[in-house]
Amino acid sequence: MMEKILVYIKSQKSTTWLTFLGLYLIAVGLSVLVFSFVLPKGGISLNIGNSRSKIKQNLPKTQACPINGMMYTQPEKDVWSTRRPVTAMIENHVDSRPQSGLSSADVVYEAVAEGGITRFLSIFYCGAAGADVKAAPIRSARIYFVNLAAGYGKNPVFLHQGGANDFCSDCPGGVKPYGQIAPKVDAYGALDKLGWRNGEAGNDFDGGFNIGFPVVVRDQYRLGSEPALWEHSVVADMDEVYKEAAKRGFNYKDGEGNPWTQGFRAWKFDNGSANSKPTASDISFQFWDNQPDYNVEWKYDQATNTYKRFDGGKAHTDWNFDKPQISASDVVVMFVKEEGPVDEEKHMYYEVIGEGDAIIFKNGVATTGTWKKDSQLDREVFYDKNGAEITLTRGPIWIELVPAGNSIKY
């Protein structure tokens, strides 16, 4: 009898210990979730701070990115060959700097959103294939950014947080009165015409309507212990973006076996060569003359044959990884027709379909020419004065949409 009692006591002790162990593991798991996604003041950052790569980089770079010509390893190509481009809206308000993810974008477009404050359309494809990339802060769409994104093949993922629209919950018919928003700047109307908006099934990824955690999260403490304003806090996890895209059927090929590259206009590339006597080593310009915080400068670095970016007089860095200064192999200035504000909501309009003047900076030299984009679904192409397509240097490419008539110093 005594032996049975001892066995029972031991059994009860074992059960109690296992119960406490289980509760401990559950508590740890919950803590990780809480501290990962509901960040307290001074909490843990969602951004990867130390390691850019999640694929071995000591392999030969033999594969050219179809978007910017940059060379990558075969394993990186194996990743991007299952995906399609993500075209993401990232803001540039002074209070949102430094942004996260811009140094991983293959191509970045910059244009004024409103009031002389610029915004970026960032194309993620090859540069995000072998890296843990967080993109932030995600912000709202404008019609001209939609028109540029539409040039990236068949149904690219369009990632944004709201956009210019005519919705109105308390207006007659649910539509804003005439004059409040001009039809020509209705970004949602353009997305509807493209067929991108389709609730939780479309390639339009809208943080305001059809995506949420874990694709996008609010992190007001992305940059430190002081909380950012709510509108500057949306962070996208690119791996989660691609998981959601795959779930919706937006992989490299669609359900009928058609690749996203169908109809995509690839640029021409070469390896580039540093110029020992650069004639365009310091590029500077402004978008609006009353907004110096958004003045841009690009300084040529002969050692790397790249241009280093400065925003509002300060080195423009990426909060991801080791906070590198943003650089580009090519800087293209597209002079575009500016209209606006065109409505009561102060929306601007920039014409990116058609043609206009351009300056292409590569290898420390400037080439004047033109740009041409035949339709919404075409990609812009750059030509010299003789009408020959300009070959770009492999690597990250920045395209600055500057109001026609503005001066560029170099």
Reported as a single tens digit per residue, the pLDDT across 298-340 is: 999 999 999 999 999 999 999 998 899 999 999 999 999 999 9
Least Cα distance to 294 among 221, 399, 402 occurs for 402
Pick the CATH number of 269-403 from 3.50.90.10, 3.50.4.10, 3.30.565.10, 3.20.20.80: 3.50.90.10
CA–CA separation, 224 and 117 (whole Å): 23
CA–CA separation, 63 and 153 (whole Å): 20
Domain segments of the chain: what residues?
71-247, 269-403
229 pLDDT more than 60: yes
Token pair of 302, please?
């002969």
Identity of residue 359: I
Per the CB < 8 A criterion, the answer to whether 393 and 278 are in contact is no
236 pLDDT more than 80: yes
pLDDT on residue 52: 52
CA–CA separation, 97 and 310 (whole Å): 12
CA–CA separation, 374 and 357 (whole Å): 15
pLDDT on residue 13: 37
Alpha-helical segments (H) within 276-403:
none
C-alpha angle with apex 263: 260 to 267, nearest 5 degrees? 100
Beta bridge partners of 18: none
Answer yes or no: same fold for 71-247 and 269-403: yes
Judged by DSSP in three states, 89 sits in strand
Higher pLDDT, 42 or 391: 391
CA–CA separation, 142 and 122 (whole Å): 13
Token pair of 221, please?
């403490």
pLDDT on residue 321: 86
Q: Does domain 71-247 have CATH number 3.50.90.10?
A: yes
pLDDT on residue 56: 64
Judged by DSSP in three states, 31 sits in helix
Helices (H) and strands (E) in the chain, counts: 5, 24
pLDDT on residue 239: 97
User: What is the band of 3 on the pLDDT scale with cuts at 50, 70, 90?
Assistant: very low
Least Cα distance to 93 among 123, 113, 122 occurs for 113
14 pLDDT more than 80: no
225 pLDDT more than 50: yes
Per the CB < 8 A criterion, the answer to whether 1 and 9 are in contact is no
78 pLDDT more than 90: yes
Q: What is the pLDDT of residues 356-397, one digit of tens each?
A: 999 999 999 999 999 999 999 999 999 999 999 999 999 999
Token pair of 164, please?
């210019």
26 pLDDT more than 80: no
39 pLDDT more than 90: no
Q: What is the pLDDT of residues 257-276, one digit of tens each?
A: 999 999 999 999 999 999 99
pLDDT on residue 217: 98
Least Cα distance to 308 among 381, 361, 370, 382 occurs for 361
pLDDT on residue 180: 95
Identity of residue 137: P
pLDDT on residue 137: 98
Query: What letter would DSSP give residue 303?
Result: T
Query: What letter would DSSP give residue 281?
Result: -
User: How far is C-alpha 315 from the geometric centre of its chain's CA atoms?
Assistant: 19
Per the CB < 8 A criterion, the answer to whether 228 and 45 are in contact is no
Q: What percent of the chain is predicted at pLDDT more than 90?
A: 82
Spatial neighbors of 239 by CB under 8 A, at least 6 apart, are: 132, 133
CA atoms within 13 A on the CB side of 178: 0
Segment 230-247 shows an average pLDDT of 98
User: What is the band of 58 on the pLDDT scale with cuts at 50, 70, 90?
Assistant: confident
**Chain mean pLDDT for the chain:** 89
pLDDT on residue 169: 85
178 pLDDT more than 60: yes
